Amino acid sequence: MAREHRFDTHVHTSETSICGQIPGAEVSRLYKKAGYSGIVITDHFHSYFFDRFPDLSWPEKTACYLSGYHAALEEGNRIGLTVLLGMELRFPDHECDFLVYGFDETFLLENENLYGMGLEKFFQLTREKGILVFQAHPFRDGQVRANPKFLDGVEVFNGHPGHNARNHLAEDFAREHSLRRIAGSDAHFTSGIGISGIVTRKPLASMAEFTALWDQGDPKLILD
């Protein structure tokens, strides 16, 4: 029987996410120990982070944002864990969060103030670049559902142990609007490591391989 490969789609580092409690290198070691083949670092991308550095240029701010990802990537390369770059994006008009996949560091450098665009404008920007936008935990307290026209998919299972994500409602929302489905641990601290994610038959080596998973339908999700 072929081995299955676990991949967490929603992971934070303490270098970048204010609420994160695990440094990037340790995140990679913990996921390797948990038997995962890879992770996506989705640190929070919003004004709360960037406003901390008013005197830095945009490239310098971007370097600060990527510090957690780079730490996880370096350790992942050393121990044999795939580490990919994503983000959890929030706009100023509401507290909804969006998991974004399929961009690279150059995209961030060339598009200053993405978090100020608003969902519709950002979604239009992504259409020509093969970027996927999933709403994260849309039924958590304080969240509202985004317009499905500006989403590729929905996080139907969020494993954060400190919040009630009402995952069953997110599942219903995704199916009602024929949106792609994703699941992730939303790991911020050790108790959140490896709760959820996706399962693939082959290891993933790049973000292009990750985003292509949905071309043939939803991948297998870890829902427990």
pLDDT tens-digit readout, 188-205:
999 999 999 999 999 999
Q: How confident is the model at residue 1 (pLDDT cuts 50, 70, 90)?
A: very low
How confident is the model at residue 130, as a pLDDT? Answer: 93
| More confident of the two residues 15 and 92 | 15
SS3 labels along the chain: CCCCEEEEEEECCCCCCCCCCCCHHHHHHHHHHCCCCEEEECCEECHHHHCCCCCCCHHHHHHHHCHHHHHHHHHHHHHCCEEEEEEEEECCCCCCEEEEECCCHHHHHHCCCHHHCCHHHHHHHHHCCCCEEEECCCCCCCCCCCCHHHCCEEEEEECCCCCCCCHHHHHHHHHHCCCEEEEECCECCHHHCCCCEEEECCCCCCHHHHHHHHHHCCCEEECC
Given a cut of 90, whether residue 113 has pLDDT beyond it is no
- Which pLDDT tens digit goes with each residue over 56-76? 999 999 999 999 999 999 999
Domain-wise residue ranges, the chain: 5-222
How confident is the model at residue 2, as a pLDDT? Answer: 57
What pairing do the DSSP bridges indicate for beta strands 38-41 and 44-45? unpaired
Kindly list the distances between the CA atom of residue 125 and the CA atoms of 28, 65, 118, 119, 206, in Å, as whole numbers in the listed order: 31, 21, 11, 10, 22
Given a cut of 70, whether residue 98 has pLDDT beyond it is yes
Share of the chain above pLDDT 90, in %: 91
Confirm or reject CATH 1.10.10.10 for domain 5-222, answering yes or no: no
